[in-house]
Amino acid sequence: MLEGTVEVHSYLGPGDERTLADDVLDGLTRPLKELPPKHFYDDRGSQLFDAICELPEYYQTRTERLILECSAADIVERTGAVELVELGSGSATKTRVLLDAMQDSGRLERYVPVDVSATTVHAAAATLVQEYPGMSVYGVVGDFERHLTHLPEPAGPRLVAFLGGTLGNFPPGTRRRFLRGLRNVLGSDGHLLLGTDLVKDPRVIEAAYDDSAGVTAQFNLNVLHVLNRELDANFDVDAFEHVAFFDRKREWIEMRLRATDSQHVRIGKLDLDIEFAAREEMRTEISAKFTPERLRGDIEAAGLELVEIYTDPDELFAVSLSRRA
């Protein structure tokens, strides 16, 4: 079988600096300062997250992989997919489980990774096109919240995978709006594969976001390096500490950065001065945890029909398969 082709298209440019700037201008001037978690994922942030996924406390990745290993053949059989689109593809470790099942079915034609890290997309494309002879790769370097319109036309039945529990980073209203956007790129015979973390013992959840090795703390603090580099800010990164806790009422985890002392921050490219009081916190992530009922409600509100929920024996995590209603 001939080697497949590789195309990588980038939709991030100088204008995207203004997107970060807008988020900073909006989020850091609020009474409770906050930033969206998408700004974690520069090249270093992506590498740190890959390291987090290997930590003993971080059950999500290994549990989701176990679910995929047990269900991939069934997913491919139900969907008839010839193309896998992966949002926030990262290093594509779990992707291989799905690609293997598609290859075994004889249907695999194309893989479409979507990620903000150009380095990550190029590396995955170069590796996977060698591992799966005959498969083409169409890489999209972009923000999956804004650049889904740049996906190629489906090569046939399409499976869109949004794994890792990233859906939980969206507040409820935004989450449902995003799912409606995913519905629009499935095509008439496509399916959506979602990874979602489930509600469980809060101690298990909190440990996953505050590991003993401090890797998650580095990941959280890295966003300050991003602001310093991209917006000419002068955050003293050493003067902030990582905070993670489970909000039992909302059933989501929050990550924050806490100023250990008062600090004046200058953000040069915005001509903006920000004050942090001692012990003041800036929220950098929420990660909602789901019950089956909440998951079904979000899926149906987006105009999708739930086909199946796959989970592990301990019901720590779920992978759900949906299609257009």
- Read off the pLDDT of residues 57-81 as tens digits, 9 standing for 90 and up: 999 999 999 999 999 999 999 999 9
Q: Residue 128: how many CA atoms within 13 Å on its side-chain side? A: 34
One-letter amino acid of 282: M
Structure tokens at 286: 């929420």
Whether 162 is in a domain gets the answer yes
> What is the pLDDT at residue 85?
96
Which range of residues forms the domain containing residue 100? 6-10+54-201+290-324
What is the spatial distance between Cα 63 and Cα 313, in angstroms, rounded to a whole number?
A: 10
Find, among 325, 323, 320, the residue nearest to 162 by Cα: 320
Under 8 Å between Cβ of 139 and 61 = no
> What is the pLDDT at residue 55?
95
Backbone dihedral angles phi then psi of residue 163, each to the nearest 5 degrees: -105, 180
Q: Residue 18: how many CA atoms within 13 Å on its side-chain side? A: 3
> What is the pLDDT at residue 168?
95
Backbone dihedral angles phi then psi of residue 85, each to the nearest 5 degrees: -105, 125
Whether 36 is in a domain gets the answer no
What one-character DSSP code corresponds to residue 256? E
One-letter amino acid of 314: D
What is the spatial distance between Cα 7 and Cα 146, in angstroms, rounded to a whole number?
A: 20
Q: Using the structure block, give the residue that is written with the tokens 């969907």.
A: 79
> What is the pLDDT at residue 1?
42
> What is the pLDDT at residue 95?
87
Count of beta carbons in the 10 Å neighbourhood of residue 153: 6
Whether 211 is in a domain gets the answer no
Structure tokens at 124: 């995955």
Whether 318 is in a domain gets the answer yes
Whether 184 is in a domain gets the answer yes
Full DSSP string of 158-204? EEEEE-TTGGGGS-HHHHHHHHHHHHHTS-TT-EEEEEEEBP--HHH
Q: Is the dihedral of CA 98, 104, 106, 109 positive or negative?
A: positive
Count of structural domains, the chain: 1
Find, among 75, 91, 309, the residue nearest to 190 by Cα: 75
Under 8 Å between Cβ of 174 and 41 = no
Q: Is the dihedral of CA 75, 81, 82, 83 positive or negative?
A: negative
Q: Which residues of the chain have pLDDT under 50?
A: 1-2
Whether 218 is in a domain gets the answer no
Whether 69 is in a domain gets the answer yes
- Going by their DSSP bridges, the two strands 110-115 and 83-87 should be labelled as parallel
CATH of the domain at 113: 3.40.50.150
What is the spatial distance between Cα 182 and Cα 186, in angstroms, rounded to a whole number?
A: 7
Whether 66 is in a domain gets the answer yes
